[in-house]
Amino acid sequence: MDQRKVRETDIPLLTEWISRDPYHRDTTTADFFFEAGTVCNVYSDHRGPVLFMRGQPMLVGPRGKVIRLDIQFDNEQTLRNGRMLIIVNKIFCEQAKKAGFKELFFTSDFPTLKAFCVRALGFSEKNGTLSKSL
């Protein structure tokens, strides 16, 4: 697995993946992954990029420091996406916990992704929001 910051040269791939994603194509643009106050990494395997993960650090009341996640991948690569999510989940959670974050969360309307995150990654779901304590 390789991890790096998102670059301008990633915009065509992000745009392509978003255009084919029924859950993001009408609401998200590649620019979203470059917004100020966020950090976006690209995670790749030996075949190239697998997913883009954007994190937005937040301070949320009694929960303390949390990270809102947004993920974009090629929906046509289900097995590859799942493998990468398992690897990234472990590494990212360790890094976030060391940095003082207490929780990760994201929202999704994608039933398969939600089920996978609950079953394989340790997230819990409530009203379309998935969260994981660190």
Three-state SS annotation for 62-81: HHEEEEEEEEEECCCCHHHH
Gap between the Cα atoms of 9 and 31, Å rounded: 12
Gap between the Cα atoms of 33 and 27, Å rounded: 13
What is the CATH classification number for the domain harbouring 33? 3.40.630.30
Please give the average per-residue pLDDT across 30-56, as a whole number. Answer: 97
The total number of structural domains in the chain stands at 1
Gap between the Cα atoms of 131 and 134, Å rounded: 10
The percent of the chain in helix, strand and coil, each rounded to the nearest 5, is: 40, 35, 25
Mean per-residue pLDDT over the chain, rounded: 94
User: Rounded to 5 degrees, what are φ and ψ at 121?
Assistant: -115, -5
Q: What is the pLDDT of residues 91-125, one digit of tens each?
A: 999 999 999 999 999 999 889 999 999 999 999 99
Gap between the Cα atoms of 7 and 92, Å rounded: 20
CA triplet 118, 16, 108: central angle to 5 degrees?
25
Please give the residue range of the domain that contains residue 50: 2-133
Question: What confidence score (pLDDT) does residue 128 get?
Answer: 84
Please give the average per-residue pLDDT across 32-56, as a whole number. Answer: 97
* 88 and 43 Cβ atoms separated by less than 8 Å: yes
- pLDDT band of residue 45 (cuts 50, 70, 90) is very high
The residue count for the chain: 134
Q: What is the pLDDT of residues 23-34, one digit of tens each?
A: 999 999 999 999
